[in-house]
Amino acid sequence: MCRNIFSIQQQLTNITMTRELALDQARQYYEMMYHSPDEILNAIMNRGKQFSELEYVNALQLLHRSSPGHSQELLLTSLQRLSEILGDIGVTV
């Protein structure tokens, strides 16, 4: 998916001579899926919020569903930690 977004971005840049920032954001979102939930949460703490709370929740839920054998408690713990992190950086949760 990331390669496809990058390819589309290159083609559009060649046509319009401007970079599509929305495609950068989409690529970064899909690149996030290569990381574990803990890595995602640590990145939010280190670099700040790059996506909406809903986008993070959806990513964490997708990662949980993609990893057979993980308990529901692990997902709930990740979601609770996300809420705490976003609350700490001044985002309404």
Report pLDDT digits (tens) over 20-49: 788 889 889 999 999 999 999 999 999 999
Q: How far apart, in whole angstroms, are the C-alpha atoms of residue 10 and residue 35?
A: 25
**pLDDT score, position 91:** 44
Instruction: Calculate Rg over the CA atoms of the chain.
Output: 15
Give tens-digit pLDDT for 43-86: 999 999 999 999 999 999 999 999 888 889 999 999 999 999 99
> Taking the domains of the chain in order of start, what are their residue ranges?
1-34, 37-92
Share of the chain above pLDDT 70, in %: 94
Compute CA 65 distance to the chain's CA centroid, rounded to the nearest angstrom. Answer: 15
Q: In angstroms, rounded to a whole number, what is the distance separating the alpha carbons of residues 13 and 39?
A: 31
